[in-house]
Copies of this chain bind each other. A is one copy, B any other.
Amino acid sequence: MDDDAEQAEHAAIGRQVGRFIRLSERLFATLKWSDAGRGLERPAYMLLSRIAVDGPFRLSALATDVALDLSTVSRQVGALETAGLVRRATDPTDRRASLVEVTELGHEVFEENRARWIATWRELLAGWTPEERQIFAALFTQLNQSLAERLPSAEKGATSERDAR
């Protein structure tokens, strides 16, 4: 019997998720992350923020982290580099690899955009109670984790290929 209610909940969540993805895309697009001409598009900003927050990254590590194809990351990082927001240094321990790190400018731009992003959320969640925000964040985090685990090839070193098509 519970199954019915459960089904309904899953359906509801699934529905909201679909809607949410679309709306967020729109949101991202409208913000455009552009400010003083140093605009960033969504994927670029996401990569930049990963790099800015969690130190130098290898491209492959980045790709795994954000669940993007390495080629895509390569190009995006290339764009960031061209824009002067990140710098690539050859990994001393492995000359095939590069370590990507943010530049001074990159940090600046990141902070700018981060501030705008946070402000947007402040606006969106204006009516929420702190508890709601906390719970939501926690559940969301949990969900992302499940999601990441479920994604084929999301985890690299660990239990690598298994049901990977």
Contact = CB atoms under 8 A, between A and B. Distances in A.
B124 A150 contact: yes
B136 A13 contact: yes
Interface string A120-131: 111111111010
Nearest to A148: B23
Interface stretch (A88-96, A99-107, A139-147): A139-147
Copies of this chain per assembly: 2
Contact of A139 (B25, B46, B135, B147): B135
A81 B5 CA distance: 33
B6 A130 contact: yes
A61 interface: no
B144 A20 contact: yes
